Structures are given as C-alpha cells and as structure tokens.
Amino acid sequence: MPGSGGIVTRRFSPLHRPTHSFSDFLSVRGISNLVEAEKEGWAVWIHSEDELAKATKLLAGFLANSSDPQYQPHARRAREQRRGERQAEGAAADKVVDHKKLFRSALPFGIGWVTFLLILASVTLWGYAWLNDDRRWLDAFFITKYRLEGNYLKWVDGFPEITHGEIWRLFTPILIHDWHEPFHLLFNMYALLVFGNMIEARQSTWRLASLVLVIAGLSNLAQYFMSGPMFCGMSGVVYGLLGYIWMRGKFDPASGLPCGCGVGLSVQPARVAEPFEVRRRGN
C-alpha cells in the first residue's frame, strides 16, 4: 500500500496489460504488491521494504525483455495465492475480539452459559448451606465421604463412591464454598466471571467446559492425595484458567487471549483448595 512500503514504478499506458502480468509474476514469487492506476500510467506498489530491492531487480529484467516466457501470464496462480492470503487474514481477524463484544454471548445480560451455570450453582449451594444448620446433604458433593472423630479425620481409601458410579464427586467439590466466608465466594465468582467469560467469548463454550472439567478433576485429585477429602472451592479452577489464558496468549497470540500484565486481576491470595478446619473452613 502507498505509504506502507517501498515503491517500484514504471509508467505504462492505462491500457498496457503487461503491468498486471508483472504484478502476477511478483505475486507468485511471494512478493506482495498492488497495481494502481495513475494519471500518466500505472504504478506497482511493493508492500514490504525488505522486498523492494528484489522487486526492482525483477522489474529491470521485465523491462528489458517482457516477452520472456517467465513473464507470461501467471494470473491463475496469482489469484489462488491471493485467495489464500485473504482467507488467512480472515481467519486471523475472526480471532480478534472487540473489547466491547468481549462479554456478548448467548445470554441477554452478557454472561457465557458455562460461566453462568457455575456461578449459579456455587451461589445456590452456598446460600442453602448458610440458611440451614443441617448440612449433611453436602456430603454428596465432596470427593469421598469422611467423618470427624475428635481431632481426627477418617475416610475409606480408594474412592469407593466414585468407583460405584458417583462420578460427579470428582468435580463437585469446586461448587462448595465456606458458608462462614461470603467474601471468598465473592472473589472466586468475580474471577470466574472475568476469566470464564474471556474464554467463552474469544474461543468457545465447549472449550471452557472442557478446561473446567480437566482442571477440576486434576486439582481435586491432587488435593485429596496431599491432605485428604476435606477440601472445596473454585480457586483451583480459577488459577488454572488464569494459567491457560496466560500461556495461550503468550505462545499463540492469534488466539485473541491476552498475556502478561494484561491478565492481571486482584483476587484473594492463592489458596488452591485449602482444606477445612474442624469447623469446615474451606476454599
């Protein structure tokens, strides 16, 4: 484009077709260019300064013997090459999301479906636990059943509930939050809203759902083997999503995800699935 690169010019009559033949010749050799009509003839614009010297040399050979077979019409190959370039540019453009559209999704208030359902489930469970003194129903959401005997926590090894079909226990601890600490729930839900929506808007709902399941399963298993079954919370998923956004933005800029300080978010210090105390202080 004029002003965006060097220029190689040769004045032709507006009806002199070899100008376009030379443009096609440059295109099939990987030199991006543009032909424009001017008052006194035609101009061939070279898009990259790095290709200017090479294009100038090719132009000299073309002007010396434009009938050489190597300059014969390359229109078909040039069209195919330009079509491929346009498709590549279009694919890259599809991955760039306007910040005004970041939270635009299937829901009218701008929250992705997976993000919305995770927040709804977490808040609902927290509210129900806060309103009821009998919380035995929560046992079905922990990775395995356990009991407190004095200062000792006891459970059966080997995930007996999961091996007997209660597969959800591998994931549902992320939905439970300590009913004594509403601010921790608030921080986790806010971080999930930001990171979850970012992935849903810029990639897909299925990508976020897959990430949540994988991160939840791995972090819950890790916490179980480290400290037992008395843990819960969304922190492991939140920090896992943050790590995914950071690394994907760094190594795949075309993904549309930011990296570096652009991902920064002030949240509660990392306590990835901190275990309960005896009063079930959770993460």
User: Which domains are assigned to the chain?
Assistant: 7-94 (no CATH), 99-263 (1.20.1540.10)
Give the model confidence (pLDDT) of 183-232 as tens digits.
889 999 999 999 999 999 888 899 999 999 999 999 999 999 998 888 88
Q: Is the dihedral of CA 80, 92, 250, 248 positive or negative?
A: negative
3-class secondary-structure state, position 44: strand
> What are the two backbone dihedrals, phi and then psi, of residue 26, each rounded to the nearest 5 degrees?
-65, -40
- The rounded distance, in Å, linking the Cα atoms of 242 and 77 is 45
- The rounded distance, in Å, linking the Cα atoms of 169 and 85 is 49
Please state, in angstroms and as integers, the Cα–Cα distance from residue 158 to each residue in 161, 229, 262, following that order.
9, 11, 42
Nearest CA-CA partner of 238 in 190, 279, 171, 168:
190
Give the model confidence (pLDDT) of 165-182 as tens digits.
999 999 999 999 988 888
In this structure, the number of other CB atoms found within 10 A of the CB of residue 201 comes to 21
Give the model confidence (pLDDT) of 55-97 as tens digits.
888 877 777 776 676 666 555 666 666 676 666 666 555 555 5
Nearest CA-CA partner of 216 in 121, 132, 148, 150:
121
pTM value > 0.75: no
